[in-house]
Amino acid sequence: MLEVLKQKFGSAILDHHQNYGDETVVVDRASILEVMKFLKQNAACPFNLFLDLGGVDYPNRNPRFELVYHLYSLPRNRRIRIKTALPESDLKIRSVISVWESADWFEREAFDMFGIHFEGHPNLKRLLMWEGFQGHPLRKDYPIDKRQPIPVMADLV
């Protein structure tokens, strides 16, 4: 799969490696949607199951943030990991909901925890933290002992 991607997307594939058959590809964020569409729709090995999407904060790296997508191909029993880096100054990436609907809540979680904006997401609001929560708690610079005001329950009727 790595060779196929390299041939098709060329310079958009920034890096790749493979350990014990576990393939990882680092993709330029500008082409994330095209790469994802291809991975889902190609006939040889369609990655039809969106397993996971996680954010990572590397405070000492530039670009600082990273998104990690995990895909699985049910017909071929193959997995692939897609990574893409995002700079702090421009925390945006295109949403992959149009490819896998199940990406919906994963993207909301990454938005909630890291403040990453997914362009084209139909309902990009906090998933885990409550309305009115300030900041993004999984960022490394979020103070570990910071406490926010306890939310007030909305009226039941």
Partner 1 sequence: MDFKRFFGDTILTTKIESVVNWGRKYSLWPMPYGTACCAIEFMGTVSSQFDVSRFGAEVVRFSPRQSDLLLVMGTINYKQAPALKKIYEQMCEPKWVVAVGACAASGGFYNNYSVLQGIDEIIPVDVYVPGCPPRPEQILDAVMKIQAKIDYHA
- Residues within the interface to partner 1 (CB under 8 A): 128-130, 137, 142, 144-148, 150-153
For residue 140, the minimal CB distance to partner 1 (Å) is 13
Residue written as tokens 């990690």?
Answer: 68
Q: Which of 42, 45, 39 is nearest to 100 (CA)?
A: 39
- Confirm if 10 and 2 have CB atoms less than 8 A apart: no
Which is nearer to partner 1, 44 or 150 (by Cβ)?
Answer: 150
Which is nearer to partner 1, 125 or 147 (by Cβ)?
Answer: 147
Which is nearer to partner 1, 46 or 137 (by Cβ)?
Answer: 137
Angle in degrees, 0-180, between the axes of helices 2-9 and 32-41, rounded to the nearest 10 = 130
Q: In degrees rounded to 5, what are phi and psi of residue 129? A: -80, 165
For residue 151, the minimal CB distance to partner 1 (Å) is 6
- Buried-state track 54-93, b at ≥16 Cβ within 10 A, e below 16: ebbbeeeeeebbbbebbbebeeeebbbbbbbbbeeeebeb
Which is nearer to partner 1, 43 or 144 (by Cβ)?
Answer: 144
For residue 42, the minimal CB distance to partner 1 (Å) is 40
For residue 80, the minimal CB distance to partner 1 (Å) is 32
